[in-house]
């Protein structure tokens, strides 16, 4: 008799535990997921939270599986990357095959085509190892060291350079519309960029402006988001 009471008590406790757990799960789901939005809109709502992960735990496969909006963007970018007219030239300059370059960018970057274009603008896939800003993405040497790599490791391995560039993006990701290449690159140029049209001006930032003067496409003494759009539109058209 006592044994039956004990068994019933245990089963009752388990049932209560499951009911409470289900209630808590439902509560969290309701208050973290806006049912008025579509799946894609909810993805956009939590966009920054998804990408801003600890780089040591970052897993692209998991991110793309859990967030269909990102998966769609990634898929579209892979198509554009594959079709770019100078992918073979970029690979040749790295002394690797076109397939190897494509596969690595595809498998390790949320926005593989954007990074591919940024690398073209920053280094033209020539691995310069002199100065304060070096490698494919022309990343600051202090940042490279903060990622746990020596400059020797960084300079000898183009894959490490891609990883560090991605870490840089994760660290200084634009607060708004981080899927736009002009926003990614604006933040790349200035980690303090806050979404304004002008990134550097000759009057306000003379040192930074002069260092990047080649980006001022309309010659108005300003490096703006509009200039960046022109730059990447032109790179996309290369044959």
Buried b (16+ CB within 10 A) or exposed e, 46-66: ebeeebeeebeebebeebbee
Q: Which residues contact 222 (CB under 8 A, 6 or more apart)?
A: 198, 200, 201, 202, 209, 216
Given this model, what pLDDT does residue 162 score? 95
CATH number of the domain bearing residue 175: 1.10.530
For the ranges 49-58, 96-105, 147-156, which has the lowest average pLDDT? 49-58
Residues 127 and 217 in one domain: yes
Same structural domain, 156 and 197: yes
| 54 lies in some domain | yes
What is the pTM assigned to this prediction? 0.77
Residue 211 lies in a domain: yes
pLDDT at 56 over 90: no
Give the pLDDT confidence of 161-220 residue by residue, as tens digits: 999 999 999 888 888 888 999 999 999 999 999 999 999 999 999 999 999 999 999 999
Residues 19 and 53 in one domain: no
- What pLDDT score does 2 carry? 54
**169 touches 184 (CB < 8 A):** yes
* Domain of 12, in residue numbers: 2-32
> What is the domain count for the chain?
2
In a domain, 92, yes or no: no
Give long-range contacts, CB 8 A cutoff, 24+ apart: 170-179: 170/51, 170/52, 170/53, 170/55, 170/58, 171/143, 173/48, 173/51, 173/52, 175/48, 178/47, 178/48, 178/51, 179/47, 179/73, 179/111
């Amino acid at each position: 008799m006592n044994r039956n009471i004990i068994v019933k008590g245990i089963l009752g406790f388990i049932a209560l535990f499951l009911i409470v757990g289900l209630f808590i799960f439902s509560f969290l789901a309701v208050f973290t997921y806006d049912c008025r939005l579509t799946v894609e809109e909810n993805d956009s709502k939590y966009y920054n939270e998804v990408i801003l992960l600890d780089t040591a735990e970052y897993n692209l496969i998991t991110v793309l599986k859990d967030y269909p909006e990102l998966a769609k963007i990634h898929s579209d970018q892979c198509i554009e990357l594959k079709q770019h007219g100078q992918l073979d030239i970029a690979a040749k300059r790295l002394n690797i095959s076109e397939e190897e370059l494509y596969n690595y960018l595809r498998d390790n970057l949320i926005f593989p085509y954007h990074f591919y274009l940024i690398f073209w603008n920053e280094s033209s896939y020539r691995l310069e190892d002199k100065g304060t800003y070096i490698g494919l993405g022309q990343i600051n040497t202090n940042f490279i060291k903060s990622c746990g790599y020596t400059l020797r490791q960084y300079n000898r391995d183009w894959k490490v350079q891609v990883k560090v560039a991605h870490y840089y993006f994760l660290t200084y990701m634009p607060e708004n519309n981080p899927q736009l290449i002009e926003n990614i690159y604006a933040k790349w140029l200035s980690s303090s960029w806050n979404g304004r049209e002008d990134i550097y001006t000759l009057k306000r930032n003379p040192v930074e402006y002069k260092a990047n003067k080649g980006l001022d496409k309309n010659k108005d003494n300003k490096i703006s988001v509009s200039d960046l759009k022109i730059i990447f539109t032109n790179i996309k058209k290369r044959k």
